[in-house]
Amino acid sequence: MSKYSNYLSEDRRLVILRILAEMPTYRANSSVLHTVLFEWGHEPSRDQVKTELRWLQEQQLVDLDEVGDGAVLLAKLTERGADVAAGRARVDGVKRPGA
């Protein structure tokens, strides 16, 4: 993966965590996250969003549930994920929020 691709992935992951942190129930589905990522200047495929969510799950930053036939993932921010989104904790592979 190129340096630029790594940067984009790290930023996408941070944006996902920040979106979830702003949701009233700290939850959003992959379709909503896909739409909001476009608003933030990213243009990921739906598959990329799901891949990022699964990566975030592996890092224990989100919990995931499959909705219906698994075409949509429901993500819920974990306590650790909230700490990373706010800059209180760091995880390699997630961009650190600005000051």
**What backbone phi and psi angles, to 5 degrees, belong to 44?**
-80, 155
The confidence score (pLDDT) of residue 1 equals 62
The domains of the chain are located at: 3-83
- Comparing CA positions, the residue from 22, 7, 10, 16 lying closest to residue 35 is 16
| 99 residues of the chain, pLDDT tens digit each | 688 889 999 999 999 999 999 999 999 999 999 999 999 888 999 999 999 999 999 999 999 999 888 789 999 999 999 999 999 999 999 999 876
Tell me the whole-structure pTM to 2 decimals: 0.93
The CATH number fitting domain 3-83, selected from 3.30.540.10, 3.40.50.2300, 1.20.200.10, 1.10.10.10:
1.10.10.10
- Comparing CA positions, the residue from 17, 29, 28 lying closest to residue 86 is 17
- Residue position matching structure tokens 């129930």: 25
